[in-house]
Structure 1
Amino acid sequence: MLDTVPRAKLTRRSWLGVCLAAPIAVAATGLPAPALARSKARGIERILSFHHQNTGESLKVVYKADGRLIPENLLRIDHLLRDWRNNEVKHIDPDLLDLLWDLQQKLEVEERITVLSGYRTPATNAMLRRRRRGAATNSFHMKGQAIDLRIAGRSTKQIRNAALALNRGGVGFYPSSGFVHVDTGAPRAWRGV
């Protein structure tokens, strides 16, 4: 059967009109173009995969789907990122999880995140401060807002550069120790040992 629906003829003038109308359509939504793109991506499942270096535990989980956090999977992440020295669990900031997901997108990897340190109790943080320099007095680790990590297939320098490009929090670069710290505090950067 023949298609009987008339088709519009695309001329240079009509193509120019489409190209000029697109930014106006985006502006009409009230969202900047990147925000509009993110809102269309709400249907994406956000998956994070972890391996904790100190406990040997691994976890691959959908923490957000259709723009909504999945509470039972957040609890599983909280448990994996607990203070492994005393098994104390704290709620991990969902903004940190989004930062990790965005970091993986920026690095174009789906490799699991190797966790060196997630949540730390004040007692653990104080112990680390006594043992070595570098642990902050008011560490974001104690708030569930920081992670020290590695990602297979990417150097610490690549991870640090990608985290800096996101401009979404603190970025500590520890090349001698082979890890990067990211947190959801104010954007800032430092180099450790």
Structure 2
Amino acid sequence: MHRRKLLQWGLGAFGAGLLPLAAARADDNDIIGAILQGKQSAAPSVPQPVLRPTPVEAPAVKPVDLKWVHLHNVHTGEKLEAVYWEDGEYVPDAVQALNKVLRDYRNDQVHPMDPGLYDILGQIQSRTGSRQPFQVISGYRSPATNRMLSDRSGEVAKHSLHMEGKAMDIYLEDVALEHVRAAALDLGRGGVGYYPQSRFVHVDVGRVRQWKGA
């Protein structure tokens, strides 16, 4: 091959080999220029992780255990609706107030009532669905009052549990008397006396028993 042609071919081939490199450098210059001018980002954006706060669990709220009783003393007209039990124990102020409402109205003598009576009333109210207060005919009876009633009527026990604050004579205005009696008997707690003519049910915290009076 002629030397000149060889050189020309070699230059041509070498030049042709440089073209891609030159073009690549031109492209790089264009990209760098665009970056400097703010036309193109320097690097592809990488999604940033979303940081969420760690949920903090609220402290568990202990449910409050409440027991209510609603009474109306038919002799004095006094009414009392009270929470007598809260968080596993009887509420002293409520118990004292209930003692006063259930006192012997004939001589105003106050005696501690057995709080178990209120549990019985609450269960009777729950079973009957009553929304009315318990009408109380008799709560505590002093020995003098009980003796007087026993002498007057053979249906009053000489050693009545009323004298110990362990009995009540009650009825509900929105529940038939026989249904009150049935609910009390279903509980299987203490004594239940049924007095349909006198219109009351006797409940107490003594031994389990039942009877019917006038």
* TM-score, normalised via structure 2 length: 0.69
Cα RMSD of the aligned pairs, angstroms, is: 1.6
Match of 2:207 in 1: 186
Distance 1:110 1:95 in 2: 20
Distance 2:142 2:69 in 1: 24
Residue 198 of structure 2 corresponds to residue 177 of structure 1? yes
Name stretches of at least 5 consecutive residues in structure 2 with no aligned partner: 1-62
CA contact (8 A) 2:191 2:205 kept: yes
2:109 aligned partner, one-letter code: E
Distance 1:85 1:102 in 2: 29
More deviation, 175-184/59-68: 59-68
Runs of 4+ in 1 over 6 A off after TM superposition: none
Percent of matched pairs sharing the same residue: 41
Residue 140 of structure 2 corresponds to residue 119 of structure 1? yes
Distance 2:71 2:115 in 1: 15
Shift of 1:99: 1.2
User: Larger C-alpha radius of gyration, 1 or 2?
Assistant: 2
Aligned partner of 2:69 among 48, 57, 61 = 48
Name stretches of at least 5 consecutive residues in structure 1 with no aligned partner: 1-41
Match of 2:78 in 1: 57
2:104 aligned partner, one-letter code: D
Distance 1:82 1:120 in 2: 7
Q: How does 1:151-162 map to 2 (within 5 A)?
A: 151-162=172-183
* TM-score, normalised via structure 1 length: 0.77
Aligned partner of 2:90 among 66, 69, 79 = 69
Residue 113 of structure 2 corresponds to residue 98 of structure 1? no
2:161 aligned partner, one-letter code: F
Q: How does 1:81-92 map to 2 (within 5 A)?
A: 81-92=102-113
Distance 1:153 1:160 in 2: 14
More deviation, 137-146/106-115: 106-115
Shift of 1:131: 1.1
Tell me how many residue pairs correspond in the alignment: 154
SS in 1 for 2:100: helix
Distance 1:178 1:119 in 2: 19
CA contact (8 A) 1:43 1:67 kept: no
2:178 aligned partner, one-letter code: K
Match of 2:166 in 1: 145
